[in-house]
Amino acid sequence: MASAARLRRLGVARRPPAVPGAGRGRAGARVRLKLVPLGTSAGRPTLLRGASALAVATEGAWVLCDCGEGAQIAALRAGLSLSRLDAVLITHLHGDHFNGLPGLLGTLGLEGRQRPLVVAGPPGITALLQHLERAGSLGTGDMEVRVLEQQGNGGEVRIEGSQFLVESRPLAHRVPTYGFRVALPDRPGTLDVSRSDAAGVPRGPLLADLKAGRAVTLPDGRVVGPEGLVGPRQPGASMAYALDTVPCPSSVELGRGVDALVHEATYEDARAALAHERGHSTGVEAARIAAEAEAAALVLTHFSPSVNGDNLAEEAKSIHPRITVAEDLAEIAI
């Protein structure tokens, strides 16, 4: 991010088409994702929980959902390579979700990052980063930061050269807020070479076409399709990140059919009125959202320092059968 002009030029991505969910309800082994909670506290860090941040990782790459204070230190402790970070997804501009971003960008600039970094966030994030840059507070040098400011109903968050498929949807908080869905693309099924040999398909490029799901024409003129030769596609894993928000239809759609819905659970159900007043949800409400969305698993996070995450899960376990309480640096495989 060499200048504020570059930020202005790259500024706003307006409602491109949404990315469809990956791997829902299909046979085959899943391509794996790993969730690494880097901060699970609401409002402020505590001795055991940092401010909001979650790494979504696969082999060789990761994206960061929110970047609260201390996120880059937690990432280093988790063994995540900053050079392999593809994008930062900021839900909203409350400090506990954003304050770690300037320091992270400065570190990447100091390390001489060569490839662009995507930063997606709500309206206002472009102006905020421009202001920090003009004040000399970022120190990103020649690193290019591609700021994708989400608008309206959200949509695809395009990360060039990345295997991650990301889309955003607006949530219901006190300030403009967007949740994110992150998925890996489906992979072709396994080719049974013995069957393709028996069908007379010669070894070479035609096999790649078959594996990709395309029919091929053999030298003798016969057309052979992938049916019976290639196994089911391997669906990519998917997750959704919904915070901060009161229960809303958009969070249901964001989490529709995902392998894991990461949802805020700021308060216990007895304080639902307080949660709604402050733009938040309870653990029970998060479970209802996950159940309605038919998410395979629910991960609770964003806990008020005054509550116990295990108690929130206990309240909600009758609503959704698979609930995990996020703990800082405790990896979750999906």
pLDDT digits (tens, 9 = 90+) for 176-227: 999 999 999 988 888 889 999 999 999 999 999 988 889 999 999 999 999 9
| Residue of 242, 301, 323, 331 lying closest to 42 (CA atoms) | 301
- What are the Cα distances from residue 147, in Å, to 87, 90, 119, 138, 232? 10, 11, 5, 14, 37
State pLDDT tens for residues 255-271: 999 999 999 999 999 99
Q: What is the mean pLDDT of the chain?
A: 90
Is 212 or 3 the better-scoring residue by pLDDT?
Answer: 212
Do 42 and 166 lie in one domain? The reply is yes
pLDDT of 234 reads 83
Q: With beta carbons less than 8 A apart as the criterion, state whether 290 and 240 touch.
A: no
Confidence of residue 235 (pLDDT cuts 50, 70, 90): confident
Residues whose CB falls within 8 Å of the CB of residue 194, separated by 6 or more in sequence, listed in order: none
Indicate the angle between helix axes 283-293 and 309-316, nearest 10 degrees. 50
Is 279 or 230 the better-scoring residue by pLDDT?
Answer: 279
- pLDDT for 7 beyond 80: no
Final residue of a domain: which of 176, 205, 224?
Answer: 224
Q: With beta carbons less than 8 A apart as the criterion, state whether 61 and 86 touch.
A: yes
Cα(125)–Cα(97) distance, integer angstroms: 12
- pLDDT for 10 beyond 80: no
pLDDT of 150 reads 98
pLDDT of 232 reads 87
Do 202 and 135 lie in one domain? The reply is no
pLDDT of 20 reads 28
pLDDT of 31 reads 55
- pLDDT for 19 beyond 50: no
Do 94 and 143 lie in one domain? The reply is yes
According to DSSP H, which parts of 212-316 are helical? 249-254, 272-277, 283-293, 309-316
pLDDT of 13 reads 29
| Residue of 318, 303, 320 lying closest to 46 (CA atoms) | 303
- pLDDT for 24 beyond 60: no
Cα(52)–Cα(74) distance, integer angstroms: 11
| Residue of 278, 302, 1 lying closest to 128 (CA atoms) | 1
Q: Is 204 exposed, middle or buried (0-12, 13-18, 19+ CB in 10 A)?
A: exposed
- pLDDT for 290 beyond 90: yes
Do 208 and 297 lie in one domain? The reply is no
Domain around 91 = 4-187+233-333
How many other CB atoms sit within 10 Å of the CB of residue 56? 28
Cα(170)–Cα(245) distance, integer angstroms: 9
Do 274 and 168 lie in one domain? The reply is yes
- What are the Cα distances from residue 307, in Å, to 264, 272, 313? 13, 13, 11
Confidence of residue 65 (pLDDT cuts 50, 70, 90): very high
Final residue of a domain: which of 224, 246, 281?
Answer: 224
Amino acid at 35: L
Confidence of residue 116 (pLDDT cuts 50, 70, 90): very high
Is 31 or 54 the better-scoring residue by pLDDT?
Answer: 54
Report how many domains make up the chain: 2
Determine what percent of the chain is predicted with pLDDT higher than 70: 91
pLDDT of 81 reads 97
Do 242 and 310 lie in one domain? The reply is yes
According to DSSP H, which parts of the chain are helical? 4-10, 71-77, 95-98, 101-110, 125-134, 193-198, 205-211, 249-254, 272-277, 283-293, 309-316
Confidence of residue 248 (pLDDT cuts 50, 70, 90): very high
Do 66 and 211 lie in one domain? The reply is no
Catalytic residue (choose from 96, 186, 244, 259): 96
Do 256 and 295 lie in one domain? The reply is yes
Do 73 and 201 lie in one domain? The reply is no
Q: Which residues of 11-39 are buried (b: 16+ CB within 10 A; e: fewer)?
A: bebeeeebbebbbeeeebebbebbbbbbb
State pLDDT tens for residues 85-95: 999 999 999 99
Cα(183)–Cα(167) distance, integer angstroms: 9
Confidence of residue 148 (pLDDT cuts 50, 70, 90): very high
- pLDDT for 21 beyond 50: no
pLDDT of 272 reads 96
Handedness of CA 171, 173, 176, 182 (dihedral sign): negative
Is 99 or 233 the better-scoring residue by pLDDT?
Answer: 99
Do 120 and 206 lie in one domain? The reply is no
96 counts as catalytic? yes
Summarize the chain as % helix, strand, coil (round to 5): 25, 25, 50
- pLDDT for 27 beyond 60: no
Cα(79)–Cα(83) distance, integer angstroms: 12
Do 198 and 139 lie in one domain? The reply is no
Do 108 and 158 lie in one domain? The reply is yes
Q: With beta carbons less than 8 A apart as the criterion, state whether 268 and 42 touch.
A: no
CATH number of the domain encompassing residue 73 = 3.60.15.10
